[in-house]
Structure formats: C-alpha cells, structure tokens
Amino acid sequence: MKKSTKTLFNIIAVSIILAILIFLEMNKRKFSYDISIIERSMIYAVAAVAMNLTNGFTGLFSLGQAGFMAIGAYTVALLTIPVEARAGVFYVTGMNEFLSKIELPFIPALLLGGLFAAILAGLIGIPVLRLKSDYLAIATLGFSEIIRSIIASPQLNMITNGSYGLKKIPRFSSIFVPIALCCLCILIIVLLINSSYGRAFKAIREDETAAEAMGINLFKHKLTSFMISSFFTGVAGGLLASYMGTIDSGTFKITLTYDILLIVVLGGMGSVTGSILGSFLVTAGREWLRFFDQPLKVGNWQVPLFRTGFRMVVFSVLLMVVVLFYSKGLMGSKEFSWEGLVRFFKNLFTRKQKLNGGVSNGK
C-alpha cells in the first residue's frame, strides 16, 4: 500500500469519526446512552493503554489501577466541585477549612491528580522495583485496597467525605472534551513507546540480564515506566470522576482493576490499538450482556440461570477463556494497520473460497 493511499484512508477514517461525534453532539438528548458508552470506553482505553505500558511493554505486573484512578478521581473531584456546592456535599461533617477554599479549573486539577498518582507510584516503586517484579503485583494490589479503605475511613470525613462519597463534580460540557483529552493521553504514551525509552522498556521485557548488559539501568527504567503509567492512570481516574459526576470508595474496587486487565488481555498485551479496541468491546459488551441479569422467558418457559449476577459470571468465564485459549488476545503484540485490515479480509475471503472449493470438489 502506498503512503499516499494510507494517508487518504487515515483522513477518511478520522473524518467519519468526527462526523459521527458531531452528529452525536448535536443530538445529545437522543443519544445520551451511546455518548456515555463512548466516553466511558475512551476513559477505560486511557487506563488500559497505561496499563499496557507497564504490563505489556515493560513486562512488569502492576495491579494498582483502581488505586491510582481513585487518587486521580478524588483529586479532581475535591478541586473542581464548585465552592458554593461544597457545604451541600459535605453535609455530615463539613469540609476541611483549608481545602474548602481551593477550586481549580478542570485541566490543572486533572494534571495534579495524575501527578499525585505518579508520586505514590514512586513511593511504592522505589522499594519494590529493585527486587524481582513479582512483588510489584502484590504491593500494588495491596496499595489499591489500602487507598480505598483510607478514603472510606471516618477519620478522613473532612477531606474525602468518608463513605458518603463526593457529588456534584462538574460534568463534561461536550463529548469533545473527554475524547480530545483521551486521544492526547494515548498519543503521548504511543510516542513514548516508539521512542528510545520505549525500546529500552521492550528490551527489559524481553530479557532483563541482556538489557542490563546493554547499559540499561533496570531500576531507573522500570520506575520511569511505572510512574508514567500511573500518571496516566490517575488522569483516567480524574476523567472518570468528571464523567460520573458522583464517586465513592466503592467505585474503585479491585474489580475496576480487573476490568482494565481484561481489556488489556483481550486486546493483546503489547498492542495499543488492541487495548483501545478491547476497551470499546468490553464496555459495550457489559451493556449488551445486561440481559443476562434479567429473568428471561421464552414462551412460558423460564430460562434458568438468568438472574442478577449471571453477567459477571459470564464475564469472568470470558477472561478465563481468553487467557487459556487466546492468550495473544485480538491483536497479539501487533498494531492496527490498513495492510493488516486488508490482509484480514483477504484471508477471510480466501478461506471461504477454499471452503467452498473443498465442498464442490467433494461433490
């Protein structure tokens, strides 16, 4: 495929997406459900791509996504809830004097949220990343649980509003705000992955001993990857807060981390486009699979199994199936390309032809 053709395809694809977004934005009321799915997918995509940076590209196993997202989300929420609305939100204990006066615009708050997440990642990473990477999984998982229990603790009522959660977080003014921010975040991560640092990360994933013999400081690079990933996870959390409008400690349960893990595994470890594709599939899939949770009747016959909770069972089985039978996920470690798409359809076509040919020969 020629370069000019590819550019043309890219322009067409981007224009189609833009056209769809403009259409949705103009008919906000009618398509609010679809818009919310797209926004959520994009936010999850940021978290998934960030997770892929550590888990897929650097070969570290971090499971702190929910915790870092909580940090980002609470930072954004606390700094952006309008001052006049705060008394209403903190109706139980009132808000901390000092904090109650600070209000920041969305973007600085978002950056600050990411920054806090990155700093905390550094605090965990400095002791843990010097050792074998195994301990990172357990330390981050533990951290994520601690953050949640600290947020919900009555001692912090004046700051996090404890278990009552935070409300009245300003929502996005239009669909373009979250989409543009998410695209920007993903773009930055992609640029990083394709840079000299990204190559060093991949070298560490492939063989730590050899990477070290190539002059790559393992600890420094692992920490860099982990902190950058956590920064963007924090940003994704901040976006999530603004998307949801209401958050509490229950939003950031371990299941959130597992959702993102499922996205990354489904899309393919080490594939950014895979993660984006995965996040749309998983987010939309959760909605489509909602019927599993409702009792289903075919004629007079009550279909068994269909009741509350079944959806999550199906979901966890799905994760197992992907890990056990399609361990490469949708994209493996490849990225989307037009050639790949053309090849995919060609293969599909030729396989069908072969199948047909085989049948006719048999006759």
Partner 1 sequence: MSLATFLQHCLTGISLGGAYALIAIGYTMVYGILRLINFAHGDLFMIAGYLMIFTLADFPWYIAIPIVLIGTVVIGIVIERLAYKPLRSAPRMSIMISAIGVSLLLQNLATYLFTALPRGYPEIPYLKRIFQFGTLSASFVTFLTPILTMVLVFLMVMMINKTKIGMAMRAVSKDYETAEIMGIKINSVVSFTFAIGSLLAAIGSILYFTDRMSVNPFSGSLPGLKCFVAAVLGGIGSIPGAMIGGFILGIGETFLVALGFSTFSDAFTFILLIVMLLVKPTGLFGEKATEKV
Partner 2 sequence: MGNNVLRLEHCTMQFGGVVAVDNFSMEVNEHEIVALIGPNGAGKTTAFNFVTGVYEPTNGKVFFHDELMVANHPAGKMKKLYKGDPDQICEKIVRKTPDQITKLGIARTFQNIRLFKALTVFENVLIAKHMHAKSGLLKTAMHLNYREEIQMRKEAMELLEMQNLAAYRNDIASSLPYGQQRHLEIARALATNPTLLLLDEPAAGMNPQETDELAAFIKKTKEDFNLTVFLIEHHMDLVMGISDRIYVLDFGKMIAHGLPADIQNNDRVIQAYLGVEENA
Cα angle for residues 314, 318, 321 (degrees, 5° grid): 135
**Residues 74/75/79/82 CA torsion (nearest 10 deg):** -20
Q: What is the DSSP letter of 130?
A: T
Q: From the list 37, 137, 218, 323, which residue makes contact with partner 2 (rule: CB under 8 A)?
A: 218
Q: From the list 167, 202, 328, 334, which residue makes contact with partner 2 (rule: CB under 8 A)?
A: 202
Q: Which helix (H) or strand (E) holds 261?
A: helix 254-267
Q: Give the pair of three-digit tokens for residue 159.
A: 């700051």
Looking at the Cβ atoms of 87 and 187, the one nearer to partner 2 is 187
Contact (CB, 8 A) for 161 and 89: yes
Looking at residues 310 to 339 of the shown chain, list those that interact with partner 2 (rule: CB under 8 A).
333
Q: From the list 211, 240, 241, 247, which residue makes contact with partner 2 (rule: CB under 8 A)?
A: 211
Q: Which does 308 bind (CB under 5 to 8 A by kind): partner 1, partner 2, none?
A: partner 1
We find the least distance from the C-beta atom of residue 218 to partner 1, in angstroms, to be: 13
Q: Which does 37 bind (CB under 5 to 8 A by kind): partner 1, partner 2, none?
A: none
Give me the 207-226 binding string for partner 1, x by CB under 8 A, dash otherwise: --x-----------------
Q: Which does 137 bind (CB under 5 to 8 A by kind): partner 1, partner 2, none?
A: partner 1
Instruction: Give the number of C-alpha atoms closer than 13 A to the C-alpha of residue 196, restricted to the C-beta side.
Output: 1
Rounded distance between C-alpha atoms, residue 232 and residue 217, angstroms: 23
Among 161, 154, 151, which residue's Cα sits nearest to residue 250? Answer: 151
Query: Which one-letter amino acid corresponds to residue 153?
Result: S
Rounded distance between C-alpha atoms, residue 314 and residue 308, angstroms: 12
Q: Which stretch binds partner 2 (CB under 8 A): 13-21, 23-31, 90-98, 190-198?
A: 190-198
Q: From the list 49, 53, 124, 179, which residue makes contact with partner 1 (rule: CB under 8 A)?
A: 124
Give backbone dihedrals phi and psi of 28, rounded to 5 degrees, phi first: -50, -50
> Is 196 one of the binding residues for partner 1 (CB under 8 A)?
no
Looking at the Cβ atoms of 161 and 275, the one nearer to partner 2 is 275
Contact (CB, 8 A) for 138 and 246: no
Residues that bind partner 1 (CB under 8 A): 55, 59, 61, 63, 124, 127-128, 130-131, 134-135, 137-139, 141-143, 145-146, 149-150, 152-155, 209, 254-255, 258, 261, 265, 269, 307-310, 312-313, 315-317, 319-320, 323-324, 327
